[in-house]
Chains A and B, each alone.
Chain A
Amino acid sequence: MRKRLGILFWIAVLWIVLVVFLAIFRDSLPIADPVARLARSGECERFERPSWSRWFGCDNAGRDIFARSVEGARPALVLGVVVTGIAGTIGTLVGVISGYIRGLFDTVMTTIVDISLAFPALVLLIAVSVAFEPSLRVFVIVFSILGIPGYARIVRGATFALAEREFVDASESMGATRARIVRRELLPNVALPVLSFAFIGFALVIIAEGGLAFLNLSLDGITWGKEISEGRHFIVDHPHVSLIPSTVMFLTILAFNLVGDGLRSLVAPREVATARRLHIEGTPEPRSEGDDAVLRIVDLSTKLHTPGGLVEPVDQVSLSLAPGEALGIVGESGSGKTMILRSIVGAFPLADVTRAGTVEVDGVDMLRSADTVSRRTLGTNIGMVSQNPLTALNPVRRVGDQVIEPMIVHGDLSRADARERALELLQQVGIPAAERCLREYPHQLSGGMRQRVTIAIALANEPKLLLADEPTSALDVTVQDQILRLLDGLRRERGMGMVLVTHDLAVVKGFTDNVAIVYAGQVVEYGPTAEIFANPQHRYTVALMNSMPDLNLPSHSELTTIEGAPPSLIDPPSGCRFAERCPAVQDKCRTDDPVRAGTDVHSYSCWFPMSEHPVEVS
């Protein structure tokens, strides 16, 4: 188990192991006879209180409560194991077949399951137990029948999701039979959820047995339910007689539930409960005379304190953007490009984050200003466009409300004025039937239209800076072209600075003035887009350009690859972070951090840039 299950889980496991151990080996352990009336032989008094010599005391007939609690565990465990086994096996098989084969079988099964879940279980239990003499067999049959639908439902849901996964298709294309797919591909993957549910089901069986004892419907012999039920007559004067078996039963049920929940957290790992904390370090770099940059980033470093260690996805990044300009930030997944954007606005997933350096948007220090000031800048001067317009929009609210709201909150407009302006905006971003669009919900729009809506929202307060994170990566190529042209036109018309983050070099080529190439958390090359495409200096930039399939080359041209993978950002290597994958690597690259070279306009961090060493060094 790689993930931490927590101390409670292990205490619960220990408790279950203890109960099972005592129940099995009772006879070979020095435990009193549970039915012997010890009061008669003078070994114990009636209602004797717990003591060191007799841990749980004695009951009304002078019988040892500890021995009876151990004895009572036996029917509870036997019932739990048998019922969970039967209901779990049948329910799992029914669920897997239902979720995988689907069709008529599924329809029939779901109907049966729905009906049985609507049926009052307690009534059935009482009816059956009254009709037949309560016995282990009757209890097993009734509890099993009641348990099957729960398992079937859980497994069907899990299988439904699994059957959509490509590995099931792959197995089918391989010629696997359906039985084999169920056995090899589906069952192993539902095992954990079933096991988790089984522990919780186990607890339910124990509760049900205990509850029935109160109705005088109980198994022969000693059970926890009967102990509690009988002991309650003496609850005022001798509470321990019923409280002790109650506690034992309660702890056992709790333990099974805790184990079940622990196992479930392995299936659906929730966010690690790290508190969100933001720290700021260092002092701001003063702005030089005549610098009117709308975005100014100087030596920005962002560190995330994660359970796995300290990660530094943004390392000493400096960028600047003039009004009306577009800056591309290009990098592969995990390069830290999105983290640069997050560091500007201070929006991080739940994490402990430290930022150092300077981030200024329209002259406002985004790291150190009072919350109200930076929030106002966020709301009015920064517009954001994200990769997935469907998740960026609230699915249950009309488009109109979502466009109008930020204008009312930050722009001090009346509702009617805001609506007027929303219409105008939607027209500007190229939505043909703007009036109708205002009344629609996001799911009624195509992907391209949704992205236009998020752009309209981003523009609502006339921001001076637009941050676009992979705005077209989820869109088709003809739509991508439209959205890129739209963004390009809007920032020119409005004199708005735009940051375009993308993994696709081709996207920045036609639509940005400057570009920063990011690798392993660092900007490795930075300068005018045209200049960098014509005259790339850093070996990574060159490799990235060459690995893109070129439309001007004939088909089957061999592509240049970058072997290996980027370094981990937890404890990255010293020297150049690209060294391990670089075709021109030298000893120096592995030991010395590269110094920023080039000019103020076009800079790069490479010991052996292309211009000085045009031929591959080796």
Chain B
Amino acid sequence: MAGTGDAHLREDAHLVARDLVVEFSGPNKTVVHAVSGVSFDLIAGETLGVVGESGCGKTTSGRAVMQLERPTSGEVTLRGQRLTDLQGTDLRRARRAMQMIFQDPISSLNPSRRVKDIVREGIEIWGDPDGASTSDRIDEIMEAVGLGGDDVGERRPHEFSGGQCQRICIARALVLDPEVLILDEPVSALDVSVQAQILNLLDKLKEQFQLTIMFISHDLAVVKNVSDRVMVMYLGKVCEVAGTDALYAKPTHPYSRALLASIPGHELDLPPASELISGELPSPIDPPSGCRFRTRCPHATAKCATEEPVLRAVAEDHYVACHHPGSV
């Protein structure tokens, strides 16, 4: 699964990440290959779910799109503008069209500021996009995220539950009227009942604010619920990209199948996960040659070690980076 290649990219995309590479320096002058040649795109109004386990590079990909992590190589374009070329003020200006929401809602809010000031931050920096009065806009957004009420703004983050803090984070992100939201495990720290509230809220806000969403999560059931299209990642590479229902109905990459088969209590037609995946995750400092999944794949052959598979179509809008997709 090495998953380079860009056969799955579409013409009319709003946001495109092409051949993204992000490397960090590791201990003893080694290089950590966090993301290695990953391409994906989002059409306006679409939700792309990005799934994979720890170390697959999903979070780093999201941060690289935001330019919070500057990619080692590759490009990110938004409406045709290359974000990867921008610096300083130009970058700050371009970046406000995208906003990011993080896993830990409590750590995402500055404990020493009032909610009102936290949510207002974007307008303080850039001015009001609509020209409407600032406090009206704040009220409207707080209402939209389900935190309407008089005294909410005056309080500080520690007075709110995890779910409410995540709503505040969403409000803060929406203030600048962003085109793209990048959500990094936004419900993983929340209880199931609260998680459902936030997922429903996100679906509602997507319509209301015409958002394009990159939804990063390790939870396959959550990703299925919110996504139009899903990308499966493993060890810094793309394994499979397809429409959500197609991918869950017919997972084709061996790793996608192993992931789905590992979900506790699932009722999918798959063999036990123990037959689909073995061994341990290799180190991103020294990833396997060829297909990075080959060391754990039951179908691996000599070719998998020498030649990196490229994403190719196995059905309409269903792309897989595997030399032996037919054998599964």
Residues of A near any B CB (own CB < 8 A): 165-167, 169-177, 180, 184-185, 188-189, 191, 332-333, 446-449, 476-482, 484-485, 503-507, 509-511, 543-544, 547-563, 565
21 chain-A/chain-B pairs, Cβ below 8 angstroms: A167-B109, A169-B68, A169-B102, A170-B169, A172-B68, A174-B99, A175-B93, A175-B95, A185-B110, A477-B219, A478-B273, A480-B264, A511-B264, A544-B193, A547-B195, A547-B196, A551-B224, A555-B245, A561-B193, A565-B161, A565-B163
Scoring A169, A180, A449, A477 by chain B CB atoms within 10 A of each residue's CB, the highest score goes to A477
Known: A173-B68, A551-B248, A555-B225. A166 touches B107 (CB 8 A): yes
CB-CB contacts below 8 Å: B179-199 with A: 191-193, 195-197, 199
Scoring A171, A177, A478, A505 by chain B CB atoms within 10 A of each residue's CB, the highest score goes to A478
Q: How far is the CA of A608 from the CA of B263 in the complex (A)?
A: 33
CB-CB contacts below 8 Å: B49-104 with A: 53-54, 63, 66, 68, 92-93, 95-96, 98-100, 102-104
Q: How far is the CA of A380 from the CA of B20 in the complex (A)?
A: 54
| Contact call A175/B125, Cβ cutoff below 8 A | yes
Among B30-38, B274-282, B304-312, the stretch in contact with A = B274-282
Q: For residue A477, which residue of chain B has the nearest CB?
A: B262
Residue B289 interfacial (CB < 8 Å): no
Q: How far is the CA of A556 from the CA of B110 in the complex (A)?
A: 32
| Contact call B96/A506, Cβ cutoff below 8 A | no
Q: For residue B184, which residue of chain A has the nearest CB?
A: A166
Q: State which of A170, A171, A506, A555 has its C-beta within 8 Å of the C-beta of B263.
A: A506
Contacts of A476 in B (CB 8 A): 53-54, 218
Scoring B104, B121, B163, B264 by chain A CB atoms within 10 A of each residue's CB, the highest score goes to B264
The distance from the CB of B258 to the nearest CB of chain A, in whole angstroms, is 6
One digit per residue, 1 when the CB lies within 8 angstroms of any chain A CB and 0 when it does not, for chain B 247-282 equals: 010000000001101111111100001100100110
| Contact call B226/A556, Cβ cutoff below 8 A | yes
The distance from the CB of B219 to the nearest CB of chain A, in whole angstroms, is 8
Contacts of B99 in A (CB 8 A): 173-174
Q: How far is the CA of A180 from the CA of B195 in the complex (A)?
A: 33
Q: For residue B249, which residue of chain A has the nearest CB?
A: A554
Q: How far is the CA of A422 from the CA of B219 in the complex (A)?
A: 35
Q: State which of B66, B104, B267, B277 has its C-beta within 8 Å of the C-beta of A173.
A: B66
The distance from the CB of B306 to the nearest CB of chain A, in whole angstroms, is 26
Known: A166-B108, A170-B108. A478 touches B169 (CB 8 A): no
| Contact call A170/B196, Cβ cutoff below 8 A | no
Contacts of A550 in B (CB 8 A): 221
Q: For residue A476, which residue of chain B has the nearest CB?
A: B53
Residue B200 interfacial (CB < 8 Å): yes
Known: A482-B274, A555-B244. A170 touches B172 (CB 8 A): yes
| Contact call A481/B195, Cβ cutoff below 8 A | no
- Total CB contacts across the A-B interface at under 8 A: 173
Q: How far is the CA of A557 from the CA of B248 in the complex (A)?
A: 15
The distance from the CB of B141 to the nearest CB of chain A, in whole angstroms, is 14
Taking residues whose C-beta sits less than 8 angstroms from the other chain, chain B's interface range is 35 or more
| Contact call B192/A177, Cβ cutoff below 8 A | no
Of all A-B residue pairs in the complex, the 3 with the closest CB atoms, nearest first, are A509-B265, A562-B193, A476-B53
Contacts A167-B108, A547-B196 known; list 6 others, CB within 8 Å. Answer: A173-B99, A184-B121, A482-B274, A507-B264, A551-B220, A559-B196
Q: How far is the CA of A135 from the CA of B128 in the complex (A)?
A: 55
| Contact call A477/B53, Cβ cutoff below 8 A | yes
| Contact call A503/B192, Cβ cutoff below 8 A | yes
Q: For residue B187, which residue of chain A has the nearest CB?
A: A549
| Contact call B196/A551, Cβ cutoff below 8 A | no
Contacts of A503 in B (CB 8 A): 191-192
Contacts of B96 in A (CB 8 A): 174-175
| Contact call A551/B263, Cβ cutoff below 8 A | yes
Residue B26 interfacial (CB < 8 Å): no
| Contact call B95/A173, Cβ cutoff below 8 A | yes
Known: A173-B66, A480-B262, A555-B224. A188 touches B113 (CB 8 A): yes
Known: A188-B113, A477-B218. A175 touches B92 (CB 8 A): yes
Residues of B near any A CB (own CB < 8 A): 53-54, 63, 66, 68, 92-93, 95-96, 98-100, 102-104, 107-113, 121-122, 125-126, 161, 163, 169, 172-173, 176, 191-193, 195-197, 199-200, 203, 218-222, 224-228, 244-245, 248, 258-259, 261-268, 273-274, 277, 280-281
Q: How far is the CA of A479 from the CA of B99 in the complex (A)?
A: 32
The distance from the CB of A552 to the nearest CB of chain B, in whole angstroms, is 6
Contacts of B108 in A (CB 8 A): 165-167, 170
Contacts of B224 in A (CB 8 A): 549, 551, 555
The distance from the CB of B89 to the nearest CB of chain A, in whole angstroms, is 8
Q: How far is the CA of A553 from the CA of B224 in the complex (A)?
A: 9
Q: How far is the CA of A185 from the CA of B108 in the complex (A)?
A: 11
Q: For residue B247, which residue of chain A has the nearest CB?
A: A555
Q: How far is the CA of A295 from the CA of B222 in the complex (A)?
A: 36
The distance from the CB of A579 to the nearest CB of chain B, in whole angstroms, is 15
Q: How far is the CA of A600 from the CA of B13 in the complex (A)?
A: 60
Q: How far is the CA of A152 from the CA of B266 in the complex (A)?
A: 54
Q: How far is the CA of A169 from the CA of B67 in the complex (A)?
A: 11
The distance from the CB of A344 to the nearest CB of chain B, in whole angstroms, is 24
Q: For residue B158, which residue of chain A has the nearest CB?
A: A2
| Contact call B199/A559, Cβ cutoff below 8 A | yes
Contacts of A447 in B (CB 8 A): 54
Contacts of B267 in A (CB 8 A): 551-552
The distance from the CB of B159 to the nearest CB of chain A, in whole angstroms, is 11
Contacts of B196 in A (CB 8 A): 547-549, 559-562
Known: A551-B267, A555-B245, A565-B161. A544 touches B192 (CB 8 A): yes
Scoring B121, B163, B193, B268 by chain A CB atoms within 10 A of each residue's CB, the highest score goes to B193
Contacts of A184 in B (CB 8 A): 110, 113, 121
Q: State which of A166, A175, A185, A446 has its C-beta within 8 Å of the C-beta of B104.
A: A166
Q: How far is the CA of A562 from the CA of B192 in the complex (A)?
A: 9
Q: How far is the CA of A559 from the CA of B112 in the complex (A)?
A: 34
Contacts of A169 in B (CB 8 A): 63, 68, 100, 102
Q: State which of B63, B107, B125, B261 has its C-beta within 8 Å of the C-beta of A176.
A: B125
| Contact call B102/A504, Cβ cutoff below 8 A | no
Q: For residue A173, which residue of chain B has the nearest CB?
A: B100
| Contact call B112/A189, Cβ cutoff below 8 A | yes
Q: How far is the CA of A548 from the CA of B190 in the complex (A)?
A: 12
Contacts of B222 in A (CB 8 A): 549
Q: For residue A547, which residue of chain B has the nearest CB?
A: B196
| Contact call B110/A188, Cβ cutoff below 8 A | yes
Contacts of A449 in B (CB 8 A): 280
The distance from the CB of A454 to the nearest CB of chain B, in whole angstroms, is 17
Contacts of A485 in B (CB 8 A): 274
Contacts of A479 in B (CB 8 A): 53
Contacts of B259 in A (CB 8 A): 477-478
Q: How far is the CA of A385 from the CA of B226 in the complex (A)?
A: 34
The distance from the CB of B125 to the nearest CB of chain A, in whole angstroms, is 6
Contacts of B258 in A (CB 8 A): 478
| Contact call A189/B100, Cβ cutoff below 8 A | no
Contacts of B98 in A (CB 8 A): 173
Contacts of A555 in B (CB 8 A): 224-228, 244-245
The distance from the CB of B206 to the nearest CB of chain A, in whole angstroms, is 10
| Contact call B110/A167, Cβ cutoff below 8 A | yes
The distance from the CB of B63 to the nearest CB of chain A, in whole angstroms, is 8
Q: How far is the CA of A561 from the CA of B264 in the complex (A)?
A: 21
Scoring A447, A543, A548 by chain B CB atoms within 10 A of each residue's CB, the highest score goes to A548
Contacts of A505 in B (CB 8 A): 192, 265
Q: For residue B283, which residue of chain A has the nearest CB?
A: A446
| Contact call A509/B268, Cβ cutoff below 8 A | no
Known: A167-B108, A511-B264. A559 touches B95 (CB 8 A): no
Q: How far is the CA of A482 from the CA of B111 in the complex (A)?
A: 39
